[in-house]
């Protein structure tokens, strides 16, 4: 587990954000080719491109379908930010830093992206993960409460807690983030600051020894750059089958927006907390514009190609979701589904991200493996990856955690 020292170093990463300014370290490469080409404009690549540009580099951001396209893992209206990470205290600490950066970016971007709310984890017993989480919150001074069933019924009367013994409640460290909007705005700001965005499919192209020289583009052209960051999310196994294929699993996931009763705000933000259900499974958020969001467990499995997969929900999971809503939200019984989403996560066996140099090249980075939890770290990941690419002093302990070679093969 990563300790408080790394937490403080993460603070240094956040602090760097405040001091970055375009042009601070401007470089130009011969022939005007970019210093860095970032392939993928999702949460990993979009923020990395912006952070690199803010360091004064000449950066091109490339995405085959555009930022926050419906096939991407970063697509969809909302994602949650939380510090509750079970025994993974490193991510608890990082989420606190990320939250601070989101607030800064929200102010800079000039639009509401964060919807702070309570987040409750419903449980019947203190699992090892929840026990460890409580210790981590104590150690990092993250505020929380433990509510028994009676307190839950008083605090959130719109929910049924008959099968719940208690909930772990995090307050100031949780929020819902507008996902699609934030990624589109990140790309806009990147371009306003002088970055270039291009729609293209890009694969590793010509190489000379341990140096990648170009990207091969889908139109037959090529693009040269000094360094390359491949932040291809669920496409990583297609781009690097040998390196990423055995290390990440691409899993299908479904979630639905359930229509709240007319004129009834009990199930909407901020009255409805975000929740994670350790008893019945799944998670959700209160309605923000679209309906109460709930994702049942069990959407994974089966091959899922992010390019060709149809995004149609399964009758089995819809029924599972409907039974859940009827049970947990009696006031929503028989609520209609207003919208459905099918997406995919791309995770490693130990849930840690891959942020590392490609084993065959000295100028190629792979930034991937966000699984079901990477979005919240976007602004911090951008700074971290930009720091690695520009060889800024970092924290070897964090670098080690994100190494490709440390990832067990997916079983
Ligand atoms: C349903 C769901 C719910 C989630 N909930 C949460 C949550 O609540 N909180 C949280 O923190 N995280 C959550 N996550 C995880 C988080 O959304 C992901 O970890 C994160 O968005 C991954 O970002 P990415 O940039 O790695 O991938 P993506 O967003 O998929 O971006 C990759 C991009 O690369 C492009 N690309 C790929 N290959 C190429 C190529 N060869 N050439 C050009 N472009 C290419 C694609 O078009 C795509 O836009 C959730 C994920 C899912 C799917």
State whether the beta carbon of 345 lies less than 6 angstroms from ligand 1.
yes
The CA-atom distances, in angstroms, between 81 and each of 29, 119, 171, 229 are 38, 9, 11, 25
Q: What is the pLDDT of residue 298?
A: 79
Alpha-carbon span 184 to 66, nearest angstrom: 9
Q: Which atom of ligand 1 is nearest to the CA of 201?
A: 42
pTM of the entire predicted model = 0.94
State whether the beta carbon of 89 lies less than 6 angstroms from ligand 1.
no
State whether the beta carbon of 41 lies less than 6 angstroms from ligand 1.
yes
CA of 243 to the centre of ligand 1 (A): 19
- In a mutational test of the pocket of ligand 1, which residue from 372, 380, 402 has the highest number of ligand atoms less than 8 Å from its CB? 372
- In a mutational test of the pocket of ligand 1, which residue from 370, 376, 402 has the highest number of ligand atoms less than 8 Å from its CB? 370
State whether the beta carbon of 233 lies less than 6 angstroms from ligand 1.
yes
Q: Which atom of ligand 1 is nearest to the CA of 347?
A: 19
- In a mutational test of the pocket of ligand 1, which residue from 37, 39, 48, 74 has the highest number of ligand atoms less than 8 Å from its CB? 74
State whether the beta carbon of 201 lies less than 6 angstroms from ligand 1.
yes
CB 39 within 8 A of CB 233: no
State whether the beta carbon of 379 lies less than 6 angstroms from ligand 1.
no
State whether the beta carbon of 274 lies less than 6 angstroms from ligand 1.
no
CA of 323 to the centre of ligand 1 (A): 29
The tens digit of pLDDT for each residue in 247-265 reads: 999 999 999 999 999 999 9
State whether the beta carbon of 378 lies less than 6 angstroms from ligand 1.
no
**Residue whose CA lies nearest to ligand 1 atom number 15:** 372
CA of 181 to the centre of ligand 1 (A): 14
CA of 74 to the centre of ligand 1 (A): 4
CA of 164 to the centre of ligand 1 (A): 33
State whether the beta carbon of 105 lies less than 6 angstroms from ligand 1.
no
DSSP one-letter code for 24: T
Q: Which of 240, 214, 205, 251 is nearest to 351 (CA)?
A: 251
Q: What is the pLDDT of residue 250?
A: 94
DSSP H helices, 333-406, are: 378-389, 396-401
Tokens of 269: 């933000």
Q: What is the pLDDT along the chain (411 residues), one digit of tens a residue?
A: 344 344 334 444 444 443 333 433 334 465 689 999 999 999 999 999 999 999 999 999 999 999 999 999 999 999 999 999 999 999 999 999 999 999 999 999 999 999 999 999 999 999 999 999 999 999 999 999 999 999 999 999 999 999 999 999 998 999 999 999 999 999 999 999 999 999 999 999 999 999 999 999 999 999 999 999 999 999 999 999 999 999 999 999 999 999 999 999 999 999 999 999 999 999 999 999 999 999 998 766 666 899 999 999 999 999 999 999 999 999 999 999 999 999 999 999 999 999 999 999 999 999 999 999 999 999 999 999 999 999 998 899 999 999 999 999 997
* Class of CATH domain 4-406: alpha beta
The three-state secondary structure class of 51 is helix
How is the chain split into domains, by residue range? 4-406
Sign of the C-alpha dihedral computed for residues 45, 51, 53 and 55 taken in this order = negative
State whether the beta carbon of 248 lies less than 6 angstroms from ligand 1.
no
Q: What is the pLDDT of residue 21?
A: 37
Please name the residues in contact with 316: beta carbons below 8 A apart, sequence gap of 6 or more.
Answer: none
Q: Which of 320, 411, 395, 400 is nearest to 353 (CA)?
A: 400
Which residue's structure tokens are 């019984």? 333
């Amino acid at each position: 587990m990563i300790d408080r020292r790394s937490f403080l170093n993460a603070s240094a990463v956040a602090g760097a954000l405040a001091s970055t300014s375009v042009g601070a370290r401007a470089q130009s490469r011969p022939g005007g080719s970019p210093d860095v080409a970032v392939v993928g404009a999702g949460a990993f690549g979009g923020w990395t491109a912006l952070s690199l540009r803010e360091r004064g580099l000449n950066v091109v951001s490339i995405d085959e379908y555009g930022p926050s396209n419906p096939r991407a893992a970063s697509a969809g209206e909302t994602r949650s930010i939380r510090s509750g990470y079970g025994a993974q205290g490193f991510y608890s600490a990082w989420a606190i830093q990320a939250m601070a950066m989101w607030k800064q970016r929200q102010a800079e971007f000039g639009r509401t992206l964060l919807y702070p709310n309570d987040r409750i984890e419903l449980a019947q017993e203190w699992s090892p993960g929840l026990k460890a989480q409580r210790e981590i919150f104590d150690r990092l001074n993250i505020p929380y409460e433990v509510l028994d069933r009676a307190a839950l019924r008083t605090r959130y009367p719109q929910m049924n807690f008959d099968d719940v013994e208690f909930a772990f409640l995090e307050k100031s460290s949780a929020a819902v983030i507008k996902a699609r909007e934030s990624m589109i705005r990140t790309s806009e700001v990147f371009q306003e600051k002088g970055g270039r965005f291009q729609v293209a499919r890009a694969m590793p192209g010509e190489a000379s020894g341990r140096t990648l020289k170009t990207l091969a583009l889908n139109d037959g052209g090529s693009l040269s750059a000094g360094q390359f960051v491949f932040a291809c999310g669920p496409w990583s196994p297609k781009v690097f089958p040998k390196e990423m294929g055995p290390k990440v699993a691409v899993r299908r996931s479904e979630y639905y927006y359930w229509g709240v009763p007319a004129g009834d705000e009990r199930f909407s933000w901020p009255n409805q907390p975000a929740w994670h259900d350790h008893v019945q499974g799944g998670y959700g958020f209160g309605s923000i514009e679209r309906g109460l969001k709930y994702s049942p467990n069990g959407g994974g499995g089966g091959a899922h190609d992010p390019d060709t997969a149809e995004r149609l929900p399964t009758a089995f999971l819809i029924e599972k979701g409907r039974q859940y809503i009827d049970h947990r939200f009696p006031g929503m019984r028989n609520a209609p589904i207003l919208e459905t989403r099918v997406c995919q996560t791309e995770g490693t066996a130990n849930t840690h991200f891959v942020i590392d140099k490609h084993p065959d090249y000295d100028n190629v980075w792979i930034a991937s493996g966000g699984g079901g939890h990477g979005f919240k770290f976007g602004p911090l990941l951008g700074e971290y990856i930009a720091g690695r690419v520009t060889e800024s002093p970092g924290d070897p302990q964090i670098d080690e955690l994100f190494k490709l070679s440390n990832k067990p093969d997916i079983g």
